Chain A
Amino acid sequence: MSTKPSYGRIDLLQGTLDLLILRTLRWGPAHGHAIAKAIERASDDVLLVEQGSLYPALHRLIKRGWITFEDGTSENNRRAKFYRLTAKGRKQLEIETSRWETLARAIARVLRPAAQESRHETR
């Protein structure tokens, strides 16, 4: 249930989640749980509020043709899908990454001086 705001966790922007999924899959095919874990680990449990919200995102990416899936059987003998990056997705990842880095640099430039000042004042 969305009893927001949950402290320390951020509601992910759709685009960010997409980017993270693509990034995770760069290392090879993975099933849903593994992708969720990887994102949580990489972001110190901050980014994924509900693991379930991964699934609509995965399907969005399948629809765009950036990732694809194969039906497989997991270790506990269950049917589960393995998702992997397509060539199109790999290209998209590069575009998104560079766009994201540009944006991040820009935000950082804007924020850092202000942040330093405020720290200065608090002291």
Chain B
Amino acid sequence: MRRGRRALDGLDDDMRDHIERETQDNIERGMAPEEARRQAMLRFGNVALIREDTQAVWGWPSLDAIRQDVRHAFRTLRKNPAFAIVVILTLGFGIGINTATFSIVNTALIRPLGFAEPERLVALHEHPASGNAERWPFSPPDFLDLQRDQQSFEGVEAFVNVPFELSGRGDPIRIDGGKVSGKLFSLLGVRPLLGRDFTPDEDRPGMDVAVLSWGLWQSRYGGDRSIVGQTVTLDRRPYTVIGVMPASFEFPRRGPQVNNKPASIWVPMAFTDEQRQERGNQYNRSVIGRLKEGVSMDEARAELDVLARRINANYPVVLQRAGLSFGLSAAPLRDEIVGRMERPLLLLLAAVGLVLLVTCANVATLVLSRAGARTREIAVRMALGSSRARLVQLLLAEAAILSTAGALLGLLSSRFLVGAVPASVTETLPGVQEVSIDLRVLTFTGGIAIATSILFALIPLITIDRGCPGLALQGATSRSTPGQRRHRLQAGLVVSTVMLACVLLVGAGLFIRSFSALMQTDPGFNPDRVLTASLTLPRAGYSTAASVRNFHLALFTSASSLPGVRTAALVTDLPLERYEDRVLSPEGVDMAGGSTNLSWVYGPYFQTLGIRLKSGRVFSNIETIEPGGVVIVNERLARTFWPGQDAVGKRLRWGINTQQNPNPWLTIVGVIADVADGPLGVEPSIHAYEPFSQFPDLMLNNVNVPNIFGRQIKLAIRTDADPRALASAVRGEIGKIDRQLAIESVATMLDRVGDVVAPRRFSAMTLGAFATGSLLLAAIGLYGLLVFNVRERIREIAVRLALGAEPAAILRMVVGQGLKLVSVGLVAGVIASYGVARAVDSLLYQTESHDLVTFGAVPVVLVLIALMACALPAYRASRVDPARILRTE
């Protein structure tokens, strides 16, 4: 291109010289100097145009021309600020929510996992041979068998989430930790930032070593590099720090159903001898394998089938006879991590994609309306010899300014939008706590901006008929072909905006209906005026059953005696949670393989949470302190094993129904209502409750039982007034009992319910916001179309009025024109929504995909809004003063 610049340099001189010589020639031919010059100029042609054509030969529009165009575009937009502002805001809205959603999808689904060669990483599960699609993590001996015998993998490693109390250096806090088997980190292909990884030798009990996450290292230890080799106190036991992982390493990843809390600290798995041998227990270790180079997933699965048979043969005969048998399954690790979120996230992306379409259609309508007003300007430019390419360049400059401003606004607002997503929602998404605007997001936003600007630039051009600007110049506006083409296009755009808004409204309606149905379901308990606190007693401070029971008594007594407290109780798991899953045998019922959730309560738990008693009685004060062989069950359990009978007085015991079962029979003393034990709207499971006095001392004294079993405590108190007011008093009481104890959380039961329903509330609210936005845009588009139409037809309207038409007739005409478009869009929209609704059917709760309320309300709302959009232009049209219009035209 340097040659081009050199050639163009001096072009003006060249042309001036040319004209000079021609003038000279003309003078010599006997013309007067002035006439000679005029003739020379005429003969030469349009200097500016020729300069442009010559520059165009070299393929680049001159910088000068661009600068000129941009300046002109700014001037034009400043002359019509309302247009520019509406377009920029509309684009900012559309691009903003798209960028926000895309950046979430980007971090959750697209961004790589951060492990080496992740495509060879596989998540492994045990699945009960009898069961459905249920997949369990591994029981320790099963995992060890797999690790020893498998040939398909370079290695298989296990991990499990464990909470820790971290003390020393500052206040004690509760953190999420991870126990990992020997070579997990090297299996993932991640090396520590500082220090070293665990050695295989350290993966045994008694080797108290730990690796810190980058986050904990920074927040707690200020990034002190000398931390390696020092000790930290976990659950009141000293651990030697041997390494720090890099900032990018997050493990376990969010997303899977269990073991999904990113750990702040990792310690060796260190199975005890008992854990290595006890079959049929502790199915809670997640397992990851790395396929050997060249081994396919199918080959690995075939081997797993063989291994599963071998593992089943290792189970004790009693368990085998009871029908306990497993298969082994494998799935790509990526599916395990992002699989559950993929569908909802892609649906969300589709929804915002619709909003973007509405945005574009709306801006296109506005640009078209304006194009109508600019037909003359463009025609004049074309007639004056502006080339089509140059005109495109000019329009593109204008569109680029609008799109760039819109994209910047969108990018800015997307930051706020992402920040506005509640934590209870982001916590369910893999890797979303680090949502950031990266290159991919910028490319996405930039791509949208470029596509939109090209679209807008071309619209006015389409409306100008090729090569006959004359028509437009003659002022034949409303009857000429280009005008008609524009009107058709504009009408089509309004129809599609209405259609898309209708689809979004129906979608939002269905989700909102689902949410309200969800909030109306009976959770089985009364969350009002209940305050809760959760804590875990570390084994080091509470190594005996007596010490745990003393803590229970102390906490229960002090919480009950706080002013403003009606009742208080302790429990292993509050409603909306699950604790332990136990195999049970009902007496006299031949039903194998029944299992139930089991909770342990201390004090008047059912009264405190407002759980209704269906028959029998609640636990007595004596039973709270002394084991009495009693149990309370939920209705579902009673109905399952004793259908049509009163379960009170019946007996059950834990474990399989065999002669050897050493567990005592428990008598059912009461039946209570089913209490939600997971996300609201999911049918509660079978559930049994025992008084904590019956919790075996042996379990609390035995070091082989997992640390936290029987040591997790939830305190629930029912208060007279606002439960929040008691939060600090509760913290104070706990501190009085054990100053060192870290409190996990203090929250009202209503907040806990809110957290559980947050994802559904979020989807209902976001869809609602999208739909409202689109509705507004559709209304603006319709309004804009009618305003411009009325302006164009003002002469016709004036003539009609002058000839005696009633203003009301004019009113009806304009409104009718608007409603015709709306009804076409509405019909198309309802049909499209029906299809969309069926696609989201599985995400709805107690709401049919053809929910009549939604499908009935949406058209009404749309028509009402459309009427409002029509009203002003129609009123203006009916008030036209024919005399004034006809005189000026």
Q: Which residues in A have some Cβ–Cβ distance to B below 8 Å?
A: 1-2, 31-33, 36-37, 49-53, 55-56, 58-60, 62-63, 69, 71, 74, 76, 78-81
A55→B54 contact, CB < 8 A: yes
B17 and A74 form a contact (CB under 8 A): yes
Residues from chain B with a CB closer than 8 A to the CB of A71 are: 10
Q: Which residues of A contact B17 (CB under 8 A)?
A: 31-33, 74, 76, 78-80
Shortest CB–CB separation between residue B380 and chain A, in angstroms? 13
The total number of A-B Cβ pairs within 8 Å is: 86
Chain A residues with CB under 8 Å of B13's CB are 78-80
A59-B22 Cα distance, complex, nearest whole Å: 21
Selected contact of B58 from candidates A52, A63, A69, A76, CB within 8 Å: A63
Report the count of interface residues on B (CB-CB < 8 A): 30
Can you report 23 residue pairs joining A to B where beta carbons are below 8 Å apart? A2-B385, A31-B14, A32-B15, A33-B17, A33-B21, A33-B22, A52-B15, A52-B18, A52-B44, A52-B46, A52-B49, A53-B53, A58-B54, A59-B4, A59-B54, A59-B58, A62-B3, A63-B4, A63-B7, A63-B57, A63-B58, A78-B20, A80-B10
Would B54 and A62 count as touching, CB distance under 8 A?
Answer: no
Listed from nearest, the 7 A-B pairs whose CB atoms lie closest are: A50-B45, A52-B45, A52-B50, A33-B21, A59-B57, A56-B53, A80-B17
Complex alpha-carbon distance, A37 and B16, angstroms: 16
CA distance A54 to B470 in the complex (A): 28
Q: Is the CB of A59 within 8 A of B7?
A: yes
Q: Which residues of A contact B53 (CB under 8 A)?
A: 53, 55-56
From A37, A50, A58, A59, name the one whose CB has the most chain B CB atoms within 10 angstroms: A59
Complex contacts, A76 vs chain B, CB 8 Å: 17, 20-21, 24
B43 interface residue per 8 A CB criterion: yes
State the Cβ distance, B390 to closest chain A Cβ, in Å. 14
Beta-carbon contact of A53 and B22 below 8 Å: no
| Nearest neighbor of A40 in chain B, beta-carbon distance | B43
CA–CA, A1 to B41, complex, Å? 11
With both beta carbons as reference points, the residue of chain B lying nearest to A50 in the complex is identified as B45
Complex Cα distance A74/B21, Å?
10
Determine if A50 and B43 form an interchain contact, defined as CB atoms under 8 angstroms apart.
yes
- Seen from chain B, the residues whose Cβ lies within 8 Å of a Cβ on chain A are 3-4, 7-8, 10-11, 13-18, 20-22, 24-25, 43-47, 49-50, 53-54, 56-58, 385
Q: Which of B8, B17, B43 has the most CB of A within 10 A?
A: B17
Q: A51: which B residues are within 8 A, CB to CB? A: 18, 22, 43-45
* B contacts with A: majority SS: helix
Cβ B10 vs Cβ A36 within 8 A: no
Decide if A32 touches B44 in the complex (CB within 8 Å).
Answer: no
Cβ B50 vs Cβ A55 within 8 A: yes
| A51→B19 CA distance, assembly (Å) | 9
* Complex contacts, B15 vs chain A, CB 8 Å: 32, 52, 55
Q: Report which residue of B15, B22, B24, B58 has the largest number of chain A beta carbons within 10 angstroms of its beta carbon.
A: B15
**4 additional contacts (CB under 8 A) given A49-B45, A52-B47:** A59-B57, A62-B3, A76-B24, A80-B17
Alpha-carbon distance A33/B24, docked complex (angstroms): 11
* Interfacial chain B residues near A56, Cβ < 8 Å: 50, 53-54, 56-57
Q: How far is the CB of B56 from chain A (nearest CB, A)?
A: 7
Q: Closest Cβ of chain A: how far from B39's Cβ, in Å?
A: 11
A36 to B17, CA, bound (A): 13
For A63, list chain B residues within 8 Å (CB). 3-4, 7, 57-58
A49 to chain B: which residues have CB within 8 Å?
Answer: 45
Which B residues are in CB contact (< 8 Å) with A74?
17, 21
Query: Which B residue sits closest to A55, measured CB to CB?
Result: B54
List, in ascending order, chain A residues with CB within 8 A of B58's CB: 59, 63
Determine the residue in chain A with the shortest Cβ distance to B53. A56
With A51-B43, A53-B45 given, is the CB distance from A81 to B57 under 8 Å? no
**Taking CB as reference atom, which chain A residue is nearest B11?**
A55
Report the separation of the CA atoms of residues A53 and B46 in the bound assembly, to the nearest whole angstrom: 9
B57 engages A32 (CB within 8 Å): no
CA distance A121 to B707 in the complex (A): 118
| A60 adjacent to B57 (CB under 8 Å) | yes
* Residues from chain B with Cβ under 8 Å of A52 in the complex: 15, 18, 44-47, 49-50
Q: Once the chains bind, are B16 and A78 in contact (CB under 8 Å)?
A: yes
Nearest Cβ on chain B to A63's Cβ, whole angstroms: 6
B26 CB to closest chain A CB (Å) equals: 12
What residues of chain A lie closer than 8 Å to B16, measured between beta carbons?
78
| Distance (whole angstroms) from the CB of B2 to the closest CB of chain A | 12
Residue of B3, B4, B7, B47 with most chain A CB atoms under a 10 A cut-off: B7
In the bound assembly, the distance between CA atoms of A76 and B43 in angstroms comes to: 21
- B383, closest chain A residue (CB): A1
Contact partner of A81 (CB less than 8 A), chosen from B14, B45, B56, is: B14
Which of B7, B14, B22, B25 is the one whose CB lies under 8 Å from A80?
A: B14
Residues of B within 8 A of A78 (CB): 13, 16-17, 20
Report Cα–Cα, A36/B14, bound state, in Å.
13
Q: Does B46 contact A69, Cβ atoms closer than 8 Å? A: no
Q: Which residue of A lies closest to B43 (CB)?
A: A51
Distance in Å from the Cβ of A91 to the closest Cβ of chain B?
A: 20
Chain A residues with Cβ below 8 Å from B4 are: 59, 63
Residues of A within 8 A of B3 (CB): 62-63
Min distance, Cβ B7 to any Cβ of chain A, angstroms? 5
- B386: shortest Cβ distance to chain A, in Å? 12
Q: Which residues on B sit within 8 Å (CB–CB) of A79? A: 10, 13-14, 17
Q: A69 is contacted by which of B7, B25, B56 (Cβ under 8 Å)?
A: B7
Measured between alpha carbons, how far is A58 from B4 in the docked complex, in Å?
12
Q: How far is the CA of A32 from the CA of B12 in the complex (A)?
A: 12
Check B57–A50 contact: CB distance below 8 A: no
Chain A residue numbers with a CB within 8 Å of B21 are 33, 74, 76
Bound together, the chains give a CA A53 to CA B15 distance in angstroms of 11
Judging by beta carbons under 8 Å apart, are B18 and A36 in contact? yes
Q: Give chain B nearest CB distance to A21 CB in angstroms.
A: 13
Q: Provide the bound-state CA to CA distance between A69 and B11, in Å.
A: 12
Chain B residue nearest in CB terms to A76: B20
Output the least CB separation between A44 and chain B (Å). Answer: 15
Determine the residue in chain A with the shortest Cβ distance to B7.
A62
* Shortest CB distance B601–A (Å): 89
